[in-house]
Amino acid sequence: MRRRLLSTLTGLLLIAAGSGVAAGPARTVVIGAENDWYPYSGEIAGQAHGMTVDLVRAAFAAVSIEARFELLPYARCMAQTKAGTLLACFNTTRTDLIERDYLWPARPMFEERFVIYARKDHPVQPSLGVRDLEGQSVAVTRGYEYGSEFDGNTRVQRVVTNHDESNFRMVQLGRARYTLAPEVNTRLLFQRHPDLAGQFRIVGQFPSFGLYTAFSRQHADGAALLAAFDEGMRRITASGQARAIQERWRRRAETGAEQQP
């Protein structure tokens, strides 16, 4: 096993270090893609689409590796990556609770921020933070990470569902007081479900956090392909391609162009 890993790592790093453009992909890898967190990663017409999908595809392509994507719920994606049946999974927040379970890239792909939503009739008060949620019911999505401070706080009463949409409906029905989501995801969610639009208000926010592609410690090629991915991300960041991908998807989110791959 050690000889195989060393051989794979050496080959991939030689590809990554080369300055020329290869005639075609040296190999194909399969990455777990979250199926329900658009515009970062979601399923449209049976295919993976989103900003993270394009970033990961471009990073691997920069080192002559073709990335293909297996769509699945986030909790299952992370569980299979932890077990080694998947090479990697995104979009992952790096927290103390899962730090040792995965291999981590040198840098996050980008940063985002969770905001705190309540019903529109929630009393006006100063902006809330994590500690203000202690003793309160907060609807969260199964398997999601919300940052070390929140995830490690046992005083928050979590109401766990399978989707962000369900979280908002729990708040709407009074079964939870708050829920958490990035604004860009929420904007598109409300476009898909107009009955939710106008029913909530932002009452606080968390500090910004990095989003990662987490690699498997148990997969035979995990360490080698993480090194290749890091090199690919370095290249597309230096060339400006990563920024262009992010800006293109943020424009799509602002205009609601969800169905355009």
Domains and CATH numbers, the chain: 2-111+210-255 (3.40.190.10), 114-205 (3.40.190.10)
Report the Cα–Cα distance between both ends of the chain, in Å, rounded.
40
- What pLDDT sits at residue 258? 52
pLDDT at 257: 57
pLDDT of residue 73: 95
Max CA pair span of the chain: 62
Mean local confidence (pLDDT), 227-250 = 97
pLDDT of residue 233: 99
In the predicted model, is pLDDT for residue 71 greater than 50? Answer: yes
Q: What is the pLDDT of residue 1?
A: 45
Q: What average pLDDT does the structure give for the chain?
A: 90
Which tens digit of pLDDT belongs to each residue from 135-183?
A: 999 999 999 999 999 999 999 999 999 999 999 999 999 999 999 999 9
Apex 141 CA angle, 137 and 146, nearest 5: 80
| Structure-token pair, residue 30 | 């399969």
